[in-house]
Structure 1
């Protein structure tokens, strides 16, 4: 039994993470998982959850929170008319397929493997955000099929393994092909919905009946963490969407890139320690 003071601290940390994740969901069109997964990993470790399922639980719980956050963000951006609906329609099968494949891999992957995947992708994204902003453009329009389908599946797969909504990956893809950043951000919110819904179901199945899971968990989803954070992200996300349409992205990209560098370093250190 944990002291009340510790439980209150855990709750406060989770709610603070929810506020940051919700704001990022609106600003970047992401589900906030890049913030939530490392925070969950730390907090779950602090309360004594076994390391064998700690990262799995962090990723799965993050995906559960991304469901309402992404829907809220998508609706906010759609009201502004910035969403590329044609791209989303073309990815209705591709992105969920990738997310389901991610949950299958997670069912057999070790905690170390998931941390290495998260750290590696986070490092690559951080380098791109900080040092390669606006330097690469692969074309003037998005590629056709089957390349577009494969990209959608890849975004779903990598995002599902990281517990993120796919916003950073989709923003990179769309801007590489000349799409405006605000359209990429708005469309990414819809991509998050396509990832989170099948990802949630997949992580429930992948962790079903694992004896190492803490109470109030269904598979690799911990409902206490989900219940604490969802209301906050739901309230904060529209404010992030407003900011996205009012301000330059460069300083935000640098800040988020630095955050990803720190998170990546933390996970790499945990693998070597």
Structure 2
């Protein structure tokens, strides 16, 4: 496998140690928040990496935002697999829904990665800021949102088309799709437990296809760091996986002892502030 050039010293420098600690902290935070709020790790990982890469001297150069999105998707492969297995063991995955959604999801995720390759880094960052603002507003409105009558699930063609839209948007901004898939399934009358489990299972093909797409689209681009494959930076992926997988259960446990509605509002405000920071930086 070919890698791009970024000088790596034999003795780790203080900067590299700080960088590793930062990746571990991002992974741990994303794991806790995913378990606590049900918000996918990408909503935390992408903005954190954009800000960190910039602070470290612009890792990724002109492709900084692309590197953050591709790296997030590769990380979600590991967390998504662990989450899917856990939900499957508890009977929380509706595979009869996942199967017709999956083809559209894969095609949409590949298309999202291809589209991202044509978008300048600053505008990809701003697109993510808009998505982050959407998530923040949803968190703020969770407790006041009126409950509407459920709609019937569409047929296989409708599910494939829906999967295509979810895959495209999720891949474009580097998320596992939970913020899109769960509301869709809930609006179709699927119980929250199965909606979350089914969404986790859908996040795996999004992450695999999206990460593969970002590898291919980013292959050979100049200015990318060593140990990257296209727009996926493996040191960050491995460090964040190491920290995020064990911390997600901690977040789930905290959800039973902390005032989650209040925390959701505070987290929503934080996401809106981060969105503004990314949009106008």
Q: TM-score, normalised by structure 2?
A: 0.86
Query: Equivalent residue for 2:82?
Result: 72
Tell me the C-alpha RMSD between the 2 structures: 2.4
The answer to whether 1:235 aligns with 2:220 is no
Task: Find the aligned partners of 2:108 and 2:96 in 1 and give their Cα distance.
Answer: 19
The answer as to whether partners of 2:100 and 2:156 remain within 8 angstroms in 1 is: no
Aligned equivalents of 1:91 and 1:122: distance in 2? 24
Displacement of 1:244: 6.5
Q: Does 1:16 align with 2:22?
A: no
Give the Cα–Cα distance (whole angstroms) in 1 for the partners of residues 37 and 92 of structure 2: 13
Match of 2:4 in 1: none
CA separation of 1:118 and 1:78: change in aligned 2, threshold 3 A: same
Q: Which residue of 1 aligns with 2:45?
A: 36
2:210 paired residue among 179, 199, 208: 199
Q: Which of 172, 179, 199 is the equivalent residue of 1:168?
A: 179
Q: Is 1:126 matched up with 2:153?
A: no
Q: Distance in 2 between matches of 1:261 and 1:36?
A: 15
Distance (whole Å) between structure 2 residues aligned to residue 107 and residue 177 of structure 1: 34
With structure 1 as the length reference, what TM-score do the two structures score? 0.89
Relative to 1, partners in 2 of residues 1:171 and 1:233: Cα closer, same or farther, differing over 3 Å? same
Q: Pick one of 190, 193, 205 that aligns with 1:182.
A: 193
Change (3 A) 1:217 1:138: farther
Query: 2:117 pairs with 107, 110, 121, which one?
Result: 107
Deviates more, 1:103-112 or 1:230-239: 230-239
CA distance in 1, matches of 2:257, 2:185: 20
Aligned residues between the structures:
270
Q: Which moved more, 1:195-204 or 1:46-55?
A: 46-55
Q: Give the Cα–Cα distance (whole angstroms) in 1 for the partners of residues 88 and 207 of structure 2.
A: 18
Q: Is the 8 A contact 1:31 1:69 kept in 2?
A: no
State the Cα distance separating 1:260 from its structure 2 match: 2.4
Partner Cα separation in structure 1 for residue 149 and residue 173 of structure 2: 25
**1:5 has 2:21 as partner:** no
> After superposition, what is the alpha-carbon deviation per residue over 1:63-96, rounded to whole angstroms, capped at 9, x for unaligned?
1100010000111122221222211111120111
Match of 1:89 among 82, 99, 115: 99
SS of the counterpart of 1:93? helix
Aligned pair in 2 of structure 1 residues 255, 185: CA closer, same or farther (>3 Å)?
Answer: farther
The 2-side partners of 1:264 and 1:85 are apart by: 34
Distance 2:199 2:37 in 1: 8
- The equivalent residue for 1:224 is 235
User: Any stretches of 5+ residues in structure 1 without a counterpart?
Assistant: none
